Amino acid sequence: MTLQPLYPRATWQRTAIMSALENAGTFMSAQDLYERLRSEGARVGLTTVYRTLQSLNDRGEIDVLHVAGKEAAYRRCGTPVHHHHLVCRSCGRAEELESAAVEEWARESAQSHGFTAVTHTVEIYGLCGACASGGD
């Protein structure tokens, strides 16, 4: 029997993007990552960064956040289970949050109104301690 090919293929770009995001720990946009990678000498294309982030998100390996007028921001989270975020508006730092009560409320609200195929978005935004004091 012949081996199945590996998807997606292991390219150094994919690895570089993933580890840059992992190192950052914060939410970062495709452009942020692109600039950081270039400044470190990695010669990746912006298109590739977009594509890779999208594919990682499709596979559930990273989380994405869509804020009003801003670029989509991605983060490599510590847990693969469903959770939400407390995000610093200024630096992108994030805490992972879980709440059985909120999940229950969402499910119950939808059900009692006859809605099906339910999903939800729950995000909290603020200024982290560091940014509130000096940083900004």
Partner DNA sequence: ATTGGTTTTGACAATCGTTTTCATCTAAGC
Partner DNA sequence: GCTTAGATGAAAACGATTGTCAAAACCAAT
Binding residues for DNA (CB under 7 A):
2-14, 29-31, 43-48, 50-52, 54, 69, 71-72
- Tell me which of 113, 134, 135, 136 binds a copy of itself, using CB under 8 A: 113
User: Tell me, what DSSP letter sits at residue 114?
Assistant: T
Q: Are 82 and 63 in contact (CB under 8 A)?
A: no
47 binding a copy of itself? (CB under 8 A):
no
91 binds, among DNA, a copy of itself, Zn ion, none (CB under 5 to 8 A by kind): Zn ion
Residue (of 11, 39, 33, 10) closest to 20 by Cα position: 33
Tell me the backbone φ, ψ of residue 64, rounded to 5 degrees: -125, 150
Q: Which amino acid is at 108?
A: E
Which residues in this chain contact a copy of itself in the complex, by CB under 8 A?
66-68, 86, 88-89, 95, 97, 99, 101-102, 105-106, 109-110, 113-129, 132
